[in-house]
Every structure is written in C-alpha cells, then in structure tokens.
Amino acid sequence: MERQQAEREWERDPERDPEAEAATRALLTDFYQITMALAYWQAGRAREPAEFELFFRRCPFGSSFALAAGLRDCMRFLRTFRLHPADVKYLASVLPPGTDPAFFEHLQGLDCSGVTVRAQPEGSLAFAHVPLLCVSGPLLLLQLLETPLLCLINYASLVATNAARLRLIAGPEKRLLEMGLRRAQGPDGGLTASTYCYLGGFDSSSNVLAGQLRGVPVAGTLAHSFVTSFSGSEQPQMLTPASGQGPPRNLSTLTESWLGKVCECLGLQAEEPHPGERAAFVAYALAFPQAFQGLLDSYSVMRSGLPNFLAVALALAELGYRAVGVRLDSGDLLQQAQEVRSVFRNCASHFQVPWLEAVSIAVSNNIDEEVLTRLAQKGSEVNLIGIGTSVVTCPLQPSLGCVYKLVSVRGQPCRKLTEDSEKQTLPGSKAAYRLYSPEGAPVLDLLQLEEEPPPQTGQELRVWPLDVSGGDCRSLTLTPASLEPLHRLYFHLGQMCEPIPSLAESRALAQKSLSYLSSSHKRLENPEPYQVALSEKLHALLESLAQSSQEGS
C-alpha cells in the first residue's frame, strides 16, 4: 500500500518536469559504459547481482560538510530509463561490426524493474565516504547507470552546498536572491542551479522557468537598460488611488511636485536628478504600484537615483501605496547602503512617512564570499543580496568529485586497492548511522556491514575512525545519546517506495540539519573535520581483504 501511494503521489507531483525527464536519457553516458556492458554480456555476467555506492571523498570548498541533493532527479531518471530503437541503432553504428544482435535486443529490453536504491534524504547533511546512494541490481544495468547518476548528484549537491555556505555567511536575516542564470553553464545548468540554490538556503531566484517547473519563488526588479531607455515623460501617467476611491491622478505631476521638496530636504538643485530616470521610475511604478522598486545607480546614486526614487515613492504614498525597495549595483555597496538608509530615516521624519525608513535595500554586483562577509557584518543596512556568478559556477571548487564504486558482486564484497590510499574503497553492502550528542548535535557517522545489528542508543560502541591518508588508525569508544539510520529505501524493483519530499520540504530539512551541526564543523575557515568511523566487523573485513591482497601479490 505504501508503494502504491508513493507511486500515485509521484505521478501527481507538481514539480515533475517532463522536459528534464526527456533530456536525461539512457545515452547520457560515457562510451566506456557501453563497451563494458558488451563485455559483461559476452562474458555471461549481465544479470549478476551487484551493488554500487555513490559518494564523495572530500567535502567541497574546504568545508567539513555537504548537502545531499539531486535525489529527485535520479528517481525521475530511473523511472523513465529506456533504450529506444533509435538509441540502439546508434550504438550499433559505433560498436564493432559483427556485434551479436542479441546484445542489442538485450539493451532494448532494459529498464529499472530490477533496481533498488537506498539513499540519504534530499537536503540532509552528507559527509565524506558516507554513500549518498546505494544502488543494487543487475551488473550490466548498474554499470550503465553510473554516469547519469553521477551527473545528477554531483552538481546538485555541489551548488546546494555552495548556497548553504553563502547562507551561513549572510546569516538568517538577510534575504538571498539567486540571479545566475545568464552566467550558468547552459540552460540545464541554470535550471539545476536555481533549484538547488533554493534548497541550500536562498530565498528566491530570478529564473522564471525554475519557478514554473520546480516551484522556486521568483523575484526581480529592473535593469539599467530599462532606466536608460527613457528620456522623459511623454504622456500623462494616470494612477487610481490604492483605496479605489476618487478619480485617477497623474503620477508624473505628483512626482514633479514632490521632487522639489525632496531636493530641498537633500540640499540638491531640482534639475540635478535625471529626468529620464525619473520617467522610468514613474513607468515602473505605474506597472507595479504595490511593489515599486528603484535601481539607483544608472547615473548617480545620491544626486539622481535616490531623489528620483523618493519623489516617486512619496507620490505613491499620497495615493495610498508603499514603495518596497531600492537596488544598488555598483560602487561601495556597504557604504552606499548606509548613506541611503540615513537619507530614508531623515526623509521619513521630515515628511512624516514612518514606513519610509524601513524600505528594503538590495545590492548586487559580482558578490562572492569575501564581499558577502562584509555586507553581512553587524550594522550593515543591506536587506537583500543578489548573487549570480559566484553561486552558480562554484568558482572555489567547480566539481564535487562524487564517484560510483562497486562494493559487491553475487553477495561477495569487492574492494579497489591502489597505491593512492584515498582512492581505495570500502567493501561490502553497508548501512550508515548518524550518532548524536546529548545536546542533539551530530558527532559521528558510522558505517557498518548491512547484516550487522544496528547500534543502540545508550550502549557503548567501539569504532574505527576512517583514515584515508593511510596512517595508523586507533579505535575509540563512545555512547550515542541518540542515533538515526541515514539511508531510506526510495526505489525497490522499479517502484517508488516512499514519496520524495517537495523542494520546499527538502530546503527546510537542510536548514534544520545545519542548525544542529556544531559551530566548529560549520565554520567556513579551518573547520573541525567531521568524523566518519567503521564498525569493528567492517574494519576487520577491510584488514582481511588488504592482507589477502598482499599475500596474493
């Protein structure tokens, strides 16, 4: 019944994106997956039961955490996975002549009805070497799933984590607008960035398609091109009072009458503010009288943009409307925001319009972590921060580096051994648990073999901290105050087992999870590494396989 309900909820999912499902096709893969598939098939191993784990080896950006993201997209992909006749025909054209036609018949009959996926919930905290996905099923098919699953998880988790870092810098009060679509790596990259920046903690996006397809709140104001396209008021600009009572008034005329008063208050000459800019503001206010915002730096912030905005805002106020904000897009944003706020306060008092002093101040202009730190400091008058390039392109680390590694075949553990100890893998089908302190903070993720009994709250555990550097590793004991299993069964033999939470729910989970993480793990510079450990039985298996490998060599 639960699976049937999950399937029905998935079909009704308002965030389903048919175009994205069509783009993520079975041939969105690397060619060597196809060549290995042929070799598996010829060796008679296509249907051998196997399990792969998808994980990353190091947390991104020098952090001690990441956010798990992309699971919803993976479920879409698995549900629709097929090789269509045209796909198979293309593969026949690039594989060796004389390839057995039965192989292509096998490919055309593939679907994910034999695949099972356990995964960390979307939006949860994730740490190095703890699998994000555990994928089991027929060996040949699982090999074909490697590249698309990595493609769907890698960037989604990376950009969500980047957004979470920026949210931590900004603090909870500043509103963050993702506006990186024009800088993103292609349309799909732009849509993915907008989706997972929201999951990571941004409040809204400029990306309209992300709003339509993914339910991301959209926001935006106006550009310099709009402002500079106006030269003056060419015709009467009539606006009905907000109350709906009384005749329409000419907003341009009202604005001009207020301009003189504003300039006198600010110590400016009435001819200093640019008339074209003022006409642009009036036109925008007529289109959005309940949500008027002004872009202040097309000409001069203090001598043109600000007085023009105030004249229009006060004209709107006379008709019962409230302007909502201004945006600064160049210069010293922090200093300008303080100066603008000071003028708002003075004018609010001078003209007896109390709400004016609280008008929102938004800033943009190549904002990165360093600039954001300054804008978020105590005493900053900035309310909303628009970030584009530095959030969607992840310049500090352009790839998360997730890998997809075989851990068992026919129920037997597999392990990759290499001279590079960091690239060695952990064998066997595993379960993962998060252990918490009495204060509710996560302190350690435990990996153990799936057949082991789960750890118990209040019972002492002996574990082996994971050391990927190859150094000596000593066991430790601890007693968890509470714990939780990290993986949930989302997909079993081709069927959804549990509804995927909505994007908004995953966003809430991400923020809740981060709030529990200790400040020493959350700090962005020199964070305390989060500990991942192995159970005694898994550690013993690791040692046994390593010893067998040495003896075999």
Question: Per residue in 23-40, pLDDT tens?
Answer: 689 999 999 999 999 999
Strand-pairing partners, residue 176, are 385
Q: Is the pLDDT of residue 13 over 90?
A: no
Is residue 149 within 8 A of residue 71, CB to CB? The reply is: no
Q: What is the pLDDT of residue 471?
A: 47
Res 21: pLDDT: 58
**β partners of residue 435:** 444, 483
Let me know: does 17 contact 76? Beta carbons within 8 Å: yes
Domains and CATH numbers, the chain: 2-169+396-552 (3.20.140.10), 220-387 (3.20.20)
Exposed, middle or buried by CB within 10 Å (0-12, 13-18, 19+), for 226? middle
Q: How many CA atoms lie within 13 A of 105 on its CB side?
A: 3
Q: Which has the closest alpha carbon to 386: 190, 170, 100?
A: 170
Contact present, 442 and 435 (Cβ < 8 Å)? yes
C-alpha 303/C-alpha 55 separation (Å) is 55
- Say if residue 468's pLDDT is above 70: no
CA dihedral 71, 76, 78, 82 (to 10 degrees): -150
**Residue 501 corresponds to which amino acid?**
P
Q: Are 512 and 499 within 8 A, CB to CB?
A: no
Question: What tokens appear for 268 in the block?
Answer: 């400016």
* Residue-wise pLDDT tens digits, 83-94: 999 999 999 999
Which structure tokens are listed for 468?
Answer: 């990927």
Helix, strand, coil percentages in the chain from 3-state DSSP, rounded to 5: 45, 15, 40
H helix runs in 351-471, sequence order: 369-375, 389-392
Q: How confident is the model at residue 11 (pLDDT cuts 50, 70, 90)?
A: low
Runs of H (alpha helix) within 267-332: 275-287, 306-318
Query: Which amino acid is residue 401, in one-letter code?
Result: G
Q: What is the rounded average pLDDT for all residues in the chain? A: 93
pLDDT for 235 equals 72
DSSP state of 109: T
Q: Give strand pairing partners of 113.
A: none
Q: CA–CA separation, 178 vs 198, rounded Å?
A: 8
What is the structure's pLDDT at 470?
A: 45
Alpha helices in 353-502 (DSSP H): 369-375, 389-392
**What's the 3-state SS for 192-236?**
HHHHHHHHHCCCEECCHHHHHHHCCCECCCCCHHHHHCCCCCCCC
Q: How far is CA 393 from CA 205, 216, 261, 385, in A?
A: 15, 19, 46, 17
More confident residue, 429 or 547: 429
**Both structure tokens of 286:** 């007529």
The structure tokens listed for 524 are 């962005």
What digits encode the pLDDT tens for the residues 496-544? 999 999 999 999 999 999 999 999 999 999 999 999 999 999 999 988 8
Q: What is the pLDDT of residue 491?
A: 98
474 pLDDT band, cuts 50/70/90, is confident
Residue 99 has pLDDT above 60, yes or no: yes
3-state secondary structure of 535: strand
Which residues, in sequence order, are CB contacts of 282 under 8 Å at separation 6+? 233, 237, 251, 252, 255, 312
Buried b (16+ CB within 10 A) or exposed e, 138-177: bbbbbbbbbbbbbbbbbbbbbbbbbbbbbbbbbeeebbbb
Q: What pLDDT, on the 0 to 100 scale, is given for residue 361?
A: 98
Could you report the per-residue pLDDT of 201-250, keeping only the tens digit for each? 999 999 999 999 999 999 998 999 999 999 986 677 899 999 999 999 99
Q: How far apart are CA 434 and CA 444, in angstroms?
A: 6
Q: Which residues pair with 294 in a beta bridge?
A: 326
Whether the predicted pLDDT of 189 surpasses 90:
yes
Q: Show the tokens assigned to 239.
A: 């606006």
Q: Are 101 and 91 in contact (CB under 8 A)?
A: no
Quickly count: other Cβ atoms within 10 Å of residue 359's Cβ: 24
Q: Looking at the predicted structure, is the pLDDT value of residue 422 above 90?
A: no
pLDDT at 472 over 70: no
In terms of Cα–Cα distance, which of 452, 400, 409 is closest to 63? 400
Rounded Cα distance, 4 and 495, in Å: 8
Number of helical (H) and strand (E) elements in the chain, helices listed first: 19, 23
Choose among 252, 249, 270: nearest CA to 261.
Answer: 270
How far apart are alpha carbons 228 and 222 in whole angstroms?
11
Residue 303 confidence (pLDDT): 98
The residue type at 408: S
Which residue has 């730190």 as its token pair?
Answer: 373
Residue 103 has pLDDT above 60, yes or no: yes
Query: What's the confidence (pLDDT) of residue 305?
Result: 98
3-state secondary structure of 4: helix
Per-residue pLDDT, 365:
94
Distance in angstroms (rounded) separating the CA atoms of residues 8 and 347: 57
Q: Give the mean model confidence (pLDDT) for residues 265-287.
A: 96
